[in-house]
Amino acid sequence: DLPLVIIAGPCQLEDRDHALMMSEAIREIGRRLDVPVIYKTSYDKANRTSLKGRRGLGLEKSLAIFDEIRRDIGLPVLTDVHSEAQCAEVAPHVDVLQIPAFLCRQTDLLLAAGETGCAINVKKGQFLAPWDMVNVVDKIRSTGNGNVSVCERGASFGYNTLVTDFRSLPIMAEQTGCPVVFDATHSVQQPGGQGGSSGGDRRFVPCLARAAAAVGVAAIFMETHQDPDHAPSDGPNMVPLDQLEGLIATLKRFDGLAKSL
């Protein structure tokens, strides 16, 4: 029942200046609200809906920027990995390795991530039941790495739609024993919903995030951008940066109430 952690950042690492601007802004929000913050950023969007979607700055150029954010901005960094080889290369430069939802059953990736000793946040696949995550976590733990969190980001519900089953939060907590993260922005995604890219509806982020805080979670994950309508990916579901502070303040209050009971 530790206080709520916020994992926030833009969907992709666009360039160094943008990363420093965003991470500094998010750090200041965390300071003002006295909420621990982890900076989320992706060096590569490896599974864009279409080939035309921008993928991010790439691995080589990003690692130095991760170092800079950790050292100069002072925020821990979370990023996602997509292959076994990337795990060992990326781990020294981040605080949390994240396993993408589509890849959450790829055994070798889970093992390679686990073997880095880094903290791991693994997203529940849109095609998995909450109780299926026990097997996913056990794969990582088999490496001796017990520093694992599990993340709800919506389940397939018909076509191009996700639904969040909030029962999954206590089920995953109880069955895996891991801290549970709720990804409030991908949960409002409409996968492939715009033909060549994913849609979403950011208006529902506060609704789902409040619900998660009231149920009780270790962390809430939200992508944010200073100009979501022009962001290179996931714009429809990102929280505008200028609304982030108010939302986190609200979530902190729900978290405080939930954990006081």
Q: Is residue 147 exposed (0-12), middle (13-18) or buried (19+ Cβ within 10 Å)?
A: middle
Q: Under DSSP, is residue 217 helix (H, G, I), strand (E, B) or coil?
A: coil
According to the binding rule CB under 8 A, does residue 28 interact with a copy of itself?
no
Residue linked to tokens 């907590």: 173
According to the binding rule CB under 8 A, does residue 139 interact with a copy of itself?
yes
Q: Is residue 96 exposed (0-12), middle (13-18) or buried (19+ Cβ within 10 Å)?
A: buried
According to the binding rule CB under 8 A, does residue 132 interact with a copy of itself?
yes
Q: How far apart are CA 165 and CA 201, in angstroms?
A: 17
According to the binding rule CB under 8 A, does residue 208 interact with a copy of itself?
yes
Nearer to a copy of itself, 17 or 158 (CB): 158
According to the binding rule CB under 8 A, does residue 261 interact with a copy of itself?
yes
Nearer to a copy of itself, 37 or 103 (CB): 103
Closest by Cα among 95, 50, 48, 89 to 69: 95
Q: Under DSSP, is residue 214 helix (H, G, I), strand (E, B) or coil?
A: helix
Nearer to a copy of itself, 57 or 69 (CB): 57
With contacts defined by CB under 8 A, name the span among 3-11, 14-22, 101-109, 227-235 that binds a copy of itself.
101-109
Binding test (CB under 8 A) with a copy of itself, winner from 15, 72, 117, 257: 257
Binding test (CB under 8 A) with a copy of itself, winner from 27, 36, 95, 156: 156
According to the binding rule CB under 8 A, does residue 102 interact with a copy of itself?
yes
Strand partners, 42: none
With contacts defined by CB under 8 A, name the span among 22-30, 91-99, 120-128, 227-235 that binds a copy of itself.
120-128
Q: How far apart are CA 99 and CA 20, in angstroms?
A: 24
According to the binding rule CB under 8 A, does residue 254 interact with a copy of itself?
yes
According to the binding rule CB under 8 A, does residue 46 interact with a copy of itself?
yes
Q: Is residue 226 exposed (0-12), middle (13-18) or buried (19+ Cβ within 10 Å)?
A: middle
Least distance in angstroms from the C-beta of 102 to a copy of itself: 6
According to the binding rule CB under 8 A, does residue 160 interact with a copy of itself?
yes
Least distance in angstroms from the C-beta of 68 to a copy of itself: 26
Task: Confirm if 127 and 104 have CB atoms less than 8 A apart.
Answer: no
According to the binding rule CB under 8 A, does residue 43 interact with a copy of itself?
no
Q: Is residue 60 exposed (0-12), middle (13-18) or buried (19+ Cβ within 10 Å)?
A: exposed
Nearer to a copy of itself, 22 or 235 (CB): 235
According to the binding rule CB under 8 A, does residue 33 interact with a copy of itself?
no
Q: How far is CA 130 from the centre of its chain?
A: 17
Q: How far apart are CA 192 and CA 200, in angstroms?
A: 9
Residues that contact a copy of itself, how many (by CB under 8 A): 64
